[in-house]
Amino acid sequence: MHKIGILFDLDGVIYQGDSLISGAKESINLIRQNNIPFRFITNTTRMTKKNLITRLQSMGLTLDVEEVFAAPHAAVEYCKIKGYKKIALVVPDKDMEEDFSDFELHAENPQAIVLGDMGNQFSFDLLNTLFNKILNGAEIVAMHKNKFWHSGNELTLDLGAFVAGLEFATGKEAVVIGKPNPHLFQLAVTPWGLPFKSIYMVGDDIDGDIRGANNVGMQSVLVRTGKYRRESLNCSAIKPDYIINSVDDLPELLQLN
């Protein structure tokens, strides 16, 4: 078998709410035993990577800090490349400020607003403040533009709805850092030195995961868990290479034993 690598989305693929999806732990263990390189890539902006790893460990998943590649780290790289010194970091987890310690974070006139999903902290006042900062010249750097996610209880509005509102009101287009942006996929697999066609991307989001993987030439695997909706798949022009019921079926797809 050719050498392969695997990228996993996290929320909706490996876990949902506060528990692992059935078979996730066993599938990961089997992939480790077969010495297949893998990484979790996530648009999650509600917590730091450290807190995310702690949460996954509390669910029973053993993982290394290098095995998680998250949108906030790609946002740091983007702002450095642009030469920004002053940014407004709008995220619900204040601990994330550590990741952005190279920047002045509380300037009156930031060069960019780095925006994560604030959930129910999105208020008229917050959006109006951001609106005015953008009109004053700040760039919108959205960590992702997901439309919705599965909170464990129900489908919930995600960051993309608020980014779209700010774009509409200001007439400015946001720079989107996370999936489906090619950068996140490319940066995540750089250490492996594998051709993209040898890498499988396993996700529940037809737009972020499947479109993103297809655009960079990776093999896309859609799971019927998390935010998967048959209607979304049927009316989308984006087609996955494979569809499986859950991550539990991945070893069979890859013929692992």
pLDDT at 77: 83
Task: Note down the domain range covering 240.
Answer: 5-43+179-253
Is 54 part of any domain? no
- CA pair distance 53, 62, nearest whole angstrom: 9
pLDDT below 50 — which residues of the chain?
A: 1
Is 37 part of any domain? yes
Judge if 168 and 185 occupy the same domain. Answer: no
Is 65 part of any domain? no
Judge if 82 and 105 occupy the same domain. Answer: yes
pLDDT at 46: 79
Is 66 part of any domain? no
pLDDT at 49: 85
Please give the model's pTM, rounded to 2 decimal places.
0.80
Buried b (16+ CB within 10 A) or exposed e, 50-83: eebbeebeeeebebeeeebbbbbbbbbebbeeee
> pLDDT per residue over 36-60, tens digit each?
999 999 888 878 888 889 999 999 9
| Boundary (domain end) residue, out of 176, 202, 228 | 176
Judge if 84 and 170 occupy the same domain. Answer: yes
| Boundary (domain end) residue, out of 130, 146, 176 | 176
Give the CATH number, domain containing residue 13.
Answer: 3.40.50.1000
> pLDDT per residue over 129-169, tens digit each?
999 999 999 999 999 998 988 777 888 999 999 999 999 99
Is the Cβ–Cβ distance between 246 and 224 less than 8 Å?
Answer: yes
Is 64 part of any domain? no
Is residue 84 classed as helix, strand or coil in its secondary structure?
coil
pLDDT at 2: 57
| Boundary (domain end) residue, out of 176, 194, 227 | 176
Judge if 77 and 108 occupy the same domain. Answer: yes
pLDDT at 91: 93
Judge if 95 and 156 occupy the same domain. Answer: yes
Is 155 part of any domain? yes
- Domain count across the chain: 2
Is 108 part of any domain? yes
pLDDT at 146: 87
Is 96 part of any domain? yes
